[in-house]
A and B are shown apart, each in its own frame.
Chain A
């Protein structure tokens, strides 16, 4: 059995629901920095905002996600052919089909920008894939995370909103 699947799953296989899954996932290992990093934010109404999601989104021409992939996909702000291609079967996908904003709230950000609540919406957004078997996330910490940060910096992003799947 792979290390990222806790044996206790087998105790619960006759019960359903996110509550059960949450209870199990809460016990998994995770990587925390020794010191929580802290960047003093700019005023919200001056901030350029990007979405970084772990939903495993892909744009039309990109390859599908595979288990353990710690890379990322660049999502243009006007991409209209997004696919939720996360490898894990363990979460709802119908909500995404009904409304992409329930995962990737790009329309909401544009509305907040029009209202002047945030400064602007980035041209570039990023998708990683969650449910990683390597809880140290070494590749994300040392390679793909900083590489994604470089793209966001090039777009002059100030604030990142992270949405999980």
Chain B
């Protein structure tokens, strides 16, 4: 971000960068930066709070009044993520007696995911698969947990992207299972530690690591802060 700001400034634009990682901004030293200690992925801080977002922008644009740079200022309000406070979601039952429990769980979440789609109109599912394919993909990850090699189970694309689609599907479904919008990372922690889908990917990831699968394949199957080797909660 800091380097990109400098590239654009050099091309003749005045730039103001919001910063998410202060150490990186200090290293790359862009002309003007407002460091915002907000959850990563939420650079304006609070979704659906226009006044808060406006204030961040006004504060950022005020840096244009400085006569020389580099300018690095801290926004006065910090917001922490809630990774340590997983959501509490009741997963709707699904009548799929012939499916494995993780696939059945995902089928039960499809209506909630569709409600989120209808309400917000945005999704991060679709890198490789659709929401409707999530149960089938969990079947493939379960085969890895049962000992099959990841490259023999028939993934239709990059397993990292498929794992991301599954994670995003669960997180987006959780939005419609709660009265209040999930705080940052609370849905992620719920997925990883409280759902069969998340634990399936966690177990598959560990199996792949133990089988000396290429680092770039297993490492990114889940957020690095959710790599809980041997620590899965029992459901």
Contacts and interface: CB of A to CB of B under 8 A. Distances in A.
Task: Tell me the interface secondary structure of chain A in the complex.
Answer: loop
Given A99-B48, A162-B16, A64 B120 contact: no
A105 B4 contact: no
Given A92-B184, A140-B4, A160-B15, A22 B22 contact: yes
B124 A84 contact: yes
Nearest to B171: A94
A32 B3 contact: yes
A162 B42 contact: no
Given A14-B228, A137-B4, A92 B124 contact: no
Contacts of B89: none
A92 B42 contact: yes
Contacts of A13: 224-225, 227-229
Residue of A15, A89, A98 with highest tally of chain B CB at under 10 A: A89
Interface residues of A, number: 87
A56 B17 CA distance: 16
B213 interface: no
B206 to A, nearest CB: 11
A158 B217 CA distance: 42
A160 B14 contact: yes
Contacts of A96: 41-42, 47, 122, 124
A146 B44 contact: no
Interface pairs A-B: 4 shortest CB-CB: A26-B23, A91-B41, A41-B14, A99-B47
Interface of A: 1-2, 5, 9, 12-22, 25-33, 36-42, 44, 47, 52, 54, 64, 67, 80, 82-85, 87-103, 105, 107-109, 111-112, 117-118, 128, 130, 137, 140-141, 145-146, 148-149, 152-153, 157-165
8 contacts: A2-B215, A22-B21, A32-B2, A87-B161, A89-B222, A94-B184, A94-B188, A112-B54
